Structure 1
């Protein structure tokens, strides 16, 4: 898998950027903080969204913008794909507006579908992809400085073994949860068994039958008394009907009395209201006279011939129009004055900007001349360095004159000596084993001989084969000891010869490294010489441009002063026109006051008419009330004549007797009902207990089934927990062995021919570096540059392990190194270049290096330069056709 192209709009510091990436080594070069790492963030964000970064969506959109877009074209397994993501501000939040993955066979829409498709296609989620491909800036010493436990956690996370531990912990938590539930259910089952046994000891069905018989007897008594109570109620109802009729007549009489009083009161109040309305009519007519006088007075203050609302409205409209025209004219003058003042300010600001730009150009010219001087000094230093390296290379080749091999044959001699050493070690192992066996036989024979008898059978040992062979065995032991000493001497001789031969190999490699470095430095010297001259020419051009800007600034300031004078004249015209509009507004206000008086007179006239109509309606209403008063007085006389006192007295006696009987029978029925209710309650209680017993039996059967299921589930979770633990341990051991092998292969390329022989990574993730003399060192005992190279070797080995462990035939993902030279001196940077070449030889098609270091440029197939404008704080990106130009120009080339 490799990245083909990335295009950005309003993403982090990039307003607009478009970059193509090819196979091989691409170096993204620029000053610190220029936005180099943001290009990588855009690639990861396009693939997996914000979860691939340690940032929120709000952090990804360029400051001050409401929308951002990222497009990524990449190739996977020989097939091309295009990813598009667009972010948009919605209220106070940034949200994903579009997310699309286009492939040859299908198109996927939506952030979740795209993320799932990418994870399935690359066989890695966001965390796995970033951990595999990306060696982050500032983390070069993180694995070395960590404790073994911390290192184990970090490596497990990188190798994605932490998920298995998480699954094991989940299984363990599930097992504990099942145990808690199982214990709870077992306790509940024991409790149910006790409750069921207690219920079964009672005769619930016998008790229920006895209670039902008692309830039937009570029901018969209740039915008899209720029949008698019904006849008494009929008598009571007849008597009450007579009494109610009598009471209704008395109530109607009382009601008639109240209604007659209310009507008489209403007639009196209405007459009083009519008198009040007559008084208000007098007051309103007086107000009309007053308003007529005020209207005449105000009419004389105007230019009108008559005081009508229409005439006032016409005059107000005319004066208001003239006032508005004056105000608009004043506003136009003020707007013109403001525009002239703004033009003056803009011209003055423009003149200041020209002066500032002229100053900046002079300062940049001074800086370029200083850079040219510095570059000239560095050019002399590099020429001296070339001479030193040539002398060192000649000295190294000359040193082979007195050695047993010619220059270039040292590696072959080391391999021959190592094969001889392996044979010697094998012979020593065989002799040591034979010696140990012979010594055991001698010790056994001597022990039997001292005891005189066999401890098992009790027979004498004199004449036995063990004792008779003792002299031969002792002789054999002496021979083997002599052979072992000879083999040890030969081994020491081989090891010393190997050490001498490895020193020769180091000289050869150093000479070859110097040759490579000389080639690069020679080209850098030539390019730096051309750059010095070009820098001086740029400084001269900047000074000429600064002088031209000063002349233009003076002309612009004169134009600004002219515009300020014009603005003052126009603003005085605006003041005069505004005063004329205010005078017209005063005349309009006088006319408006006259209009208000005319309106008030019309309203008062309307009020007088309304009050007169109200007084007439009240007179009609009192006439109607007097007619109804006569009718109610006639009805009251009729009711008083229709009352029968004897019939009412008889009805009262019948009602009293019926009520007495009903009270007595009610108490009896209440007692019987209470007894029946008690029996029914007891019956219901017994029936409930029987139902509860059946429910307990059903719950007991259900609970027993659950306990059996929990027993099975507990065994399953226990096996699952053990399986995840065993699987993690097995995978960890296999990964440790493979990682140790790959780490030694990578580290041997970087330091195998120096003072270090190999690295050991044990099962507890303890790292140990071995020197050539066998001395063990912890990684934190290495120098700063050596620790950085050690960690880069470790991360490259992890990358190989992760990439080669992916199922299928898809190529490795890109290898991305972010500022890998932070802790490296110039001598170690060349070894980092060797490491990059080695990763290419292992099949990594695309390597991206983000760095501000010039020395990595020589290892680049493609060079990408990133710059940030200090004024706008926006970054730009461009490809450099000749990578060596950036190497020789250093930081100045990025200005």
Structure 2
């Protein structure tokens, strides 16, 4: 990857800044606060903007992009061009005044044209990560791209955090997901085994039920004989019951009248309470201005605005269609075939379409005149060729000529005719090509003008419709607030029209309910008669005195029902006994059917249970994968950790050897880093000087990049790598950076130290003037 160019507009302290980058070591130099680091942040933001998921490794403001736009500006723009694998890409990101995302595109630049590859914040970032060969942007910000104060971050982490970060970059999450999948599958297998256990219990129950069915079938055969003896005993009891039922009928009739009068008394009280509750609810709705008339007015107003909301959606779809059509037409006007035809005709395809049409018109006119001249000459030479000489005399001047001269003149005319016919074909072909190109461009321009007019018309209409639609939205917000204020219990997430209709329906139902309750209250009051109630109670007392058997019973309905059931039962048994044999036979047939079904069900369960051993074996394997092989602490993760430690240690020490450092590193299994020296033995990182720590951080980042990307990186960006270093260590660090630049395609360093100037291949100076960053190359 090579950074080629960046353009920043209203970004941080930059108003309009454009910088071109070359291969080799580029130094961005200037005093603190001049806006140097803003250039690096702009590069990171253009490559790795992930919307709300931004990290401090990419942008100083982290997730919030509010501070990236220059104060007082309406928005910001970044255009970054970079090269990967011989292809040039251009990413464009636009932001509003608050740092919110507007237009984001990624294109491949092919000559003077662009081919759009992705649109939208996340899609552009994903496509760039794919081009760079790593889907996680943290791979780059943790290795070859370093923001200010983050160069040594990975060295300063506790070993546990360092281990977690490196393994997460290597895709440890995939092992966790695989373990979760194994656990989920094992749990499913356990559920199946549980179901099989329930099948086993069910199998036992079915077998027991089968035995009982067979025993029941045998029992029914002996029941029939005993039933005949019951008939005479039952008839005597039936007649005794009939006389008592007559007395109970009168008592119950009186009790029903008493119950009706008492119910009417209760109904009056209940209806009065219910009317008060309805009045309370209607009053609550009315207190926030939601009486029936007000709700109907709101519904009418919202229905009018609702049409505007629908029209607004339709207009936005039309506008999108026209904009896409305009882009398509413009691409068609400048299509490759038209460009080739124009180049064949000697016309620059980069001219404005009107200029191209003018050129085509002039060319067609010139070629048409030339075609007329050619046809005139052809006509003349054909006539000359057809003239036959008389004897040896020239047919034009009459002089005597020899045969060779006459033959030469005739042959010359024939050659000129052939040449003119060839030229006529070429000119006619060029005219047709020019006319075809003119027709296609004119058609495209007419269609483009038509779509532009329709787009403008739709935009004007959208502006008017939005005002109407906003009125409807205000109605919805006001309605929701009113309903919350009165503790409305129904969901407020429904469509506004649906909510209005629901409120209107509720108010209407409450009003209708009150009218119904008023009518019922009048009816209940008309049924209540206290004097009649006293008379009926006295009559019941007289009946009980004359029938001693009633005094032991408190529930006449239950007694009557009991006697009726007994009477009906007796009558039913008498009638049933005559057909009992048929019923018993039917029961036997049902038992036979039940026996067959249970036998089939038992066979089916036994077939399922036979699969249990294979499922148990699979469960054991899945649990081994879950607990020992997969996951962050599993065997695979442990092997991966050892491999990474070994590779990282080798690559870091190789880089330290390249930089002529007199120490090496040893990385322990918990990712603790030890410093190995010949004379002083094993030391901690804290024993290194500031310069040595910075050099080790760079070596660590290069090594980690090679492991994560599978190759030596082509670029490195360092923001203020000399912070907290003395003069000697700064010089040594710049020497090392120069060495790195010799092995990488591009190194970009941001620094306020002037010592780097003599080592850099290109110097970019940044200064702050009247609060605006200025760039000088």
- Which category of TM-score, normalised to the shorter sequence, fits these structures? 0.3 to 0.5
Which has the larger Rg?
1
